[in-house]
Structure formats: structure tokens, C-alpha cells
């Protein structure tokens, strides 16, 4: 069984808060932490930025290379497997995008596992400044079962978390190539 990771987090003001336990996290302090990009043509690795993250740390970014489909940031293996202990906790992260022109709606966060896909849709598109996002990992937090579009049941959420095979966070929000989206401060399984 994996033990919770305890990290200190800092807000954009650089005032540090208390330690935050989480199942897995990515603060991008030294590299891209093996995150990948999907749905972006031949571009499969994000660009690590050593500065400019939310809180002064690094972050990862990707530039839209194709108009055919949305691209996603894809979580590395440390987030995957039997994560059933995270039921009732939260997934949080910060996003920013370079443009607010010709905005697109889509499947914003996708959790795959146990033969199911659960999706979460943002109420609004990330801004040009860091936009925090937070979703409960339970059946009361707005997850939809992807194939039906119906609200996910407790059993469906638990099924996905028992065998989590992918976490994807959408990176494309603009109907135009060359827009840039950045990701920072990902916490999975945090209170």
C-alpha cells in the first residue's frame, strides 16, 4: 500500500501554507516529472519551464500543434493503479492558457479505469493567469460517466479508482493552433 506523500505548498504570494498530504503530486520543481501529452500530433512531451509556475516553482507547458483534436496532459504512473483509498478526497491543479479567443468546450478532466471513463467539465475556461481547479473524487462532485453522459454513481467512481489507468487534463481551450497551456501544482488524493 502506498503511503501518503506530505508536501508543503505555496501560494502565488509565496506565503507557504501547512503540509498537504496527498497520494501523488507534481510541483514541477526540477523537470516534467514524466508527464506526457496526448492528442497533439508528434508532440508527446510537455516543455518544462523552470520558472513562472504558480508559487514561483516550475511548471509544464504545451503548444497546440494540430487542429484535429484536443490535447491533454497525461499523468505519470505514480498516480495510477489501485488508488481506492483516495475516494472522498480531491484532485487539484492550476492551469493557464495563452488566449481567450475562440474558446472551445470539451471533456476537461478524464479518469480511466475498470473499463470506464469519468469526465469532469469546467464551469469556465482557464484564464491567462493561473486558474486553480479542484474536484472531489466521489459521486457528489459532478463526474459524468463518459459513454452515457449520466452522473457517475458511487460504484462507478470506486471502480475507476480501484484500477486507475489514466488521468488526463485538457490542455487545449482555443480553436486555433499555437496557443499555449501550462499546468502546475497537481495534487491527487488531497483532503
Distance CA 15, CA 39 (A): 36
Count each helix (H run) and each strand (E run) in the chain, helices first. Answer: 1, 14
Q: Where are the domains of the chain?
A: 26-190
Residue 141 near residue 168, CB atoms below 8 Å:
no
Per-residue DSSP letter, 103: B
Q: What is the pLDDT of residue 101?
A: 63
Residues 6+ apart with CB under 8 A from 68: none
User: Residue 165's closest CA among 119, 113, 115, 117?
Assistant: 113
Q: What is the pLDDT of residue 86?
A: 97
Instruction: Give the pLDDT of residue 66.
Output: 75
| Dist. CA 183–CA 176, nearest whole Å | 19
3-state class of 83 per DSSP? Answer: coil
| φ, ψ of residue 38 in degrees (nearest 5) | -120, 155
pLDDT of residue 190: 94
Spatial CB neighbours of 149, under 8 Å, sequence gap ≥ 6: none
pLDDT computed for residue 103 by the predictor: 64
Q: What is the pLDDT of residue 141?
A: 96
pTM of the predicted model as reported, rounded to 2 decimal places: 0.86
pLDDT at residue 89 in the model: 97
pLDDT at 69 (0 to 100) = 76
Q: Grid coordinates standing for 29?
A: 520543481
Q: Spell out the residues 6+ positions from residue 123 whose beta carbon is closer than 8 angstroms to its own.
A: none
Q: Does 26-190 carry CATH code 2.60.120.260?
A: yes
One digit per residue, the tens of pLDDT, for the chain of length 191 reads: 333 433 333 333 233 333 467 899 999 999 999 999 998 877 799 999 999 999 888 999 999 887 667 899 999 999 999 999 999 999 999 999 987 666 667 889 999 999 999 999 988 888 899 999 999 999 999 999 999 999 999 999 999 999 999 999 999 887 767 789 999 999 999 99
Q: How many CB atoms lie within 10 A of CB 146?
A: 16
pLDDT of 155 reads 98
The set of cell numbers assigned to 106 is 470539451
CA pair distance 171, 71, nearest whole angstrom: 6
Amino acid at each position: 500500500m502506498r503511503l501518503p506523500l506530505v508536501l508543503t505548498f505555496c501560494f502565488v504570494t509565496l506565503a507557504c501554507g501547512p503540509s498537504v498530504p496527498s497520494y501523488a503530486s507534481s510541483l514541477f520543481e526540477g523537470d516534467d516529472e514524466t508527464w506526457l501529452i496526448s492528442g497533439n500530433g508528434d508532440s508527446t512531451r510537455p516543455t518544462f519551464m523552470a520558472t513562472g509556475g504558480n508559487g514561483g516553482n516550475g511548471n509544464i507547458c504545451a503548444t497546440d500543434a494540430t487542429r484535429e483534436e484536443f490535447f491533454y496532459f497525461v499523468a505519470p504512473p505514480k498516480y495510477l493503479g489501485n488508488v481506492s483509498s483516495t475516494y472522498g478526497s480531491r484532485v487539484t491543479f492550476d492551469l493557464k492558457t495563452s488566449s481567450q479567443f475562440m474558446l472551445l468546450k470539451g471533456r476537461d478532466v478524464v479518469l480511466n479505469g475498470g473499463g470506464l471513463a469519468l469526465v469532469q467539465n469546467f464551469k469556465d475556461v482557464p484564464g491567462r493567469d493561473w486558474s486553480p481547479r479542484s474536484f472531489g473524487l466521489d459521486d457528489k462532485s459532478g463526474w459524468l460517466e463518459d459513454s452515457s453522459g449520466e452522473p457517475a454513481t458511487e460504484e462507478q467512481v470506486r471502480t475507476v479508482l480501484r484500477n486507475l489507468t489514466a488521468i488526463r487534463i485538457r490542455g487545449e481551450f482555443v480553436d486555433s493552433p499555437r496557443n499555449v497551456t501550462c499546468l502546475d501544482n497537481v495534487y491527487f488524493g488531497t483532503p
